[in-house]
Amino acid sequence: MSNQSRTSSKALDRSDERVTHAEGISGMIRAFVGRVRSGDLGMLPVAVGLVVISTIFSILNPIFLAPNNLVNLLFDCATVGIISLGIVCVLLLGEIDLSVGSMSGLASAIIGVLWVNTGVPLLLAIGLALATGAAVGALYALLYTRLGMPSFVATLAGLLALLGMQLYILGPTGSINLPYASPLVRFGQILVMPAWLSHLLALAPGAVIIVAGLAVRRRRQTVNLSSRPVSTLVFKAAVLTLAVEGAIYYLNVGRGVPWMFGLFVLLVVVLNYALTKTKWGRSIFAVGGNREAARRSGINVRRIYLSAFMLCSTLATLGGILSASRLASSSQQAGTGDVNLNAIAAAVIGGTSLFGGRGSAYSALLGIIVIQAISNGLTLLNLSSSLRYMITGAVLAIAVIVDSLARRSRVSHGRA
């Protein structure tokens, strides 16, 4: 970036900050509009898309927005969503992992063979599956950082190898049924949070905004820097709390909030904290933005790639385990079909850039809700899976186009 672009970017950031600090809520809105005009869209496209999709499907079939249908949708979101969360990590580095679907299928097979056929305790079987996933991710990182093999090629080879391993260990039967009454299957199919607990947890995001915001405000005032008005913090917290509490109330009219979806959200929050508040997270963005500059600044680039690929494969393994619990079986079809497509598409549709260095853990959460909303809505309309593939592909293409255009706009405004 040129000196002129850096100066322009800093001037725009200071301008946004002054407006926000000076005018409270109205200033916050103006700063948001300014960021959108300059190409910093954030989660806006996926939020608008989700509203449009929900409106269309609810008009075509009112059952789409029925509480119990939304509960089922959240159950389905968790499995692929956790896989997509790992994809976010490698996309932030400007890389890709095409084998996450096969890795999830292999994890499902490992659970079935070890737990059901061999009699290994469930927790030990889960631990061995997760260790296998971590080892596969480490192998990808080794091939990339030591041998220079592109991640596209390495993970494509892994896709085939892992699929072969899955078929081999399942044997000629091709399918293993998991005990329906087991805690794993109950967790994936029927367990939901108590209503009081879900409402209590819904207060957490707003509380975090206020507590963290007040802490930042005190630190800035200590060194005589301008700070955001308390009214801005209260407004953001109130809007978010009302939205989440309203959604929780509506879900509790039906079966309630699934524990499996709660686990997914917890992982999103943990990864978001790691990406935004830790040295590791800052290093991820630095390497994704400019690998050579990150190396010269003292970042251990190889270690960052190792951690990202290991985390991606481990999360794919966890997603495969939860998929097995959701279906109550381990089969040759697990991890195949559109699992890869949906996991990668969710991360991109949610706002993670294919160019690296830009994205959020919340991309996986919002993106997979969009993907599953499309799939669920088309299923309710009794439309063929061919239309689901075409529509999902179109939405993915639109997301990439929006990302590319936004990137150009940020470059022209000095915010790249």
**380 and 241 in one domain?**
no
Q: Are residues 228 and 168 in the same domain?
A: no
Whole-number pLDDT of residue 322: 93
List the one residue out of 84, 75, 20, 19 whose CA is nearest residue 312: 84
Please say if the pLDDT value at position 3 is more than 50. Answer: no
Give me the amino acid identity at 299. I
Report pLDDT digits (tens) over 322-361.
999 998 888 888 877 788 888 988 888 887 877 777 888 8
Question: pLDDT tens digit string along 234-263?
Answer: 888 898 899 999 999 999 998 989 999 999
Q: Which of 205, 237, 257 is the last residue of a domain?
A: 257
Counting the structural domains of the chain, the total is 2
Over its C-alpha atoms, the chain yields an Rg (Å, rounded) of 22
**pLDDT band at residue 219 under the 50/70/90 scheme:** confident
194's tokens: 């108590």
The structure tokens listed for 248 are: 């929780």
Q: Which residue has the higher pLDDT, 19 or 397?
A: 397
Q: Strand, coil or helix: what is 154?
A: helix
- Give the range with max mean pLDDT: 38-52, 74-88, 362-376: 74-88
Give yes or no: residues 333 and 371 share one domain. yes
Report the predicted TM-score, pTM, of the whole model to 2 decimal places.
0.85
The CATH code of the domain that includes 270 is: 1.10.3470
CA dihedral 165, 167, 172, 173 (to 10 degrees): 120
pLDDT-derived band at 17, boundaries 50, 70, 90: very low
**Predicted pLDDT at 408:** 67
DSSP at 330: E
> Is 24 within the bounds of a domain?
no
Q: Residue 16's pLDDT is what?
A: 45
54-90: pLDDT as tens digits: 888 888 888 988 999 999 999 989 999 999 999 999 9
Read out DSSP for 73-117?
HHHHHHHHHHHHHHHHHHHTTT---TTHHHHHHHHHHHHIIIIII
What was the pLDDT predicted at 407?
62
Q: Are 272 and 394 in a shared domain?
A: yes
Residue 144 and residue 168 in one domain: yes
Average model confidence (pLDDT) for the chain?
Answer: 83
Q: How far is CA 316 from CA 79, 107, 131, 408, in A?
A: 9, 8, 12, 32
Percent of the chain with pLDDT over 70: 85
Picking from 30-39, 43-52, 62-71, which range would have the lowest pLDDT averaged per residue?
30-39
Output the pLDDT for position 415. 52
Q: Tell whether 295 and 348 lie within a shared domain.
A: yes
φ/ψ of 131, rounded to 5, equals -65, -40
Instruction: Judge whether 8 lies within some domain.
Output: no
Q: Is residue 325 part of a domain?
A: yes
In this structure, are 279 and 321 located in the same domain? Answer: yes
Secondary structure class of 272 (helix, strand, coil)? helix
**Residue 90 Cα distances to 335, 355, 360, angstroms:** 19, 11, 12
Q: Specify whether 84 is located in the same domain as 221.
A: no
**Pair 390, 345: CB distance under 8 Å:** no
The answer to whether the Cα torsion of 144, 149, 150, 154 is positive or negative is negative
23 located within any domain: no
**Spatial separation of the C-alpha atoms in residues 109 and 177, rounded to whole Å:** 11
Instruction: Look at residues 229, 208, 187 and name the one whose alpha carbon lies nearest to residue 78.
Output: 187
In a domain, 75, yes or no: yes
Task: Please give the structure tokens belonging to residue 185.
Answer: 């299957």
Do 118 and 74 fall into the same domain? yes
Which residue, 234, 257, 280, sits at the end of a domain? 257
The whole-angstrom separation of Cα 220 and Cα 215 is 9
Please identify, among 218, 238, 257, the residue that sits at the C-terminal boundary of a domain: 257
| 356 and 213, same domain (yes or no) | no
Q: Does the residue 15 lie in any domain?
A: no
Residue 416 lies in a domain: no
User: Residue 355 in contact with residue 407, Cβ under 8 Å?
Assistant: yes
Report the alpha-carbon distance of residue 194 to residue 75 in Å, rounded: 16
Residues 179 and 206 grouped into a single domain:
no
Q: Is residue 13 part of a domain?
A: no
Number of continuous H segments (helices) and E segments (strands) in the chain: 17, 2
- Helix 230-253 / helix 3-37 crossing angle, nearest 10 deg: 50
Q: Please name the amino acid found at residue 224.
A: N
Cα-based distances in Å from 411 to 95, 278, 415: 22, 27, 6
Question: For residue 89, which of 165, 141, 148 has the smallest C-alpha distance?
Answer: 141
Mean pLDDT of 166-180: 86
Q: Which domain holds residue 81?
A: 46-54+61-191+258-410
The torsion of the CA quartet 274, 279, 285, 287, rounded to 10 degrees, works out to: -130
Q: Are residues 111 and 202 in the same domain?
A: no
**Mean predicted confidence (pLDDT) in 294-315:** 92
